[in-house]
Amino acid sequence: MTGMRAERVEEFRFADLSAVLLVRRLGSVTASARQLGVTPSQVSKAVSRAEASLGALLFSRSSHGLSPTQAGLRIFPRLDEIAAQLSVARGNEEPADSLLTIAAPSYINSLFLPAIAEAVPEMRVRGLELPASLVRTLAPGGLFDVTVLVGQPRLPRTWTATPIGSTRKIVFAPPRIARLFGAGPIAMERLREFRFVSPVYHVGGQFVPVDDDCPLPAALRRRGHEAQTIGAALELAARTGQLVYGPACAGIRQLAAGELTELRVRGWNAQDPIYLACNAERVLARVQRALVRQLPGAVDALEKRTLWLSKRSQRKRT
Identify which of 196, 102, 186 has the alpha carbon closest to the alpha carbon of residue 149.
102
Triad 49, 50, 51: Cα angle to 5°: 90
State pLDDT tens for residues 70-84. Answer: 888 888 887 777 766
Round to whole Å and give the CA distance between 318 and 303: 23
State pLDDT tens for residues 235-244. Answer: 999 999 999 9
State pLDDT tens for residues 197-242. Answer: 998 876 556 677 777 889 998 889 999 999 988 999 999 999 999 9
Spatial contact of 115 and 295, defined as CB atoms under 8 Å apart: yes
| DSSP line for 152-185 | -----TTEEEEEEEEEEEEEEE-HHHHHHH-SS-
What pTM was estimated for this model as a whole? Answer: 0.66
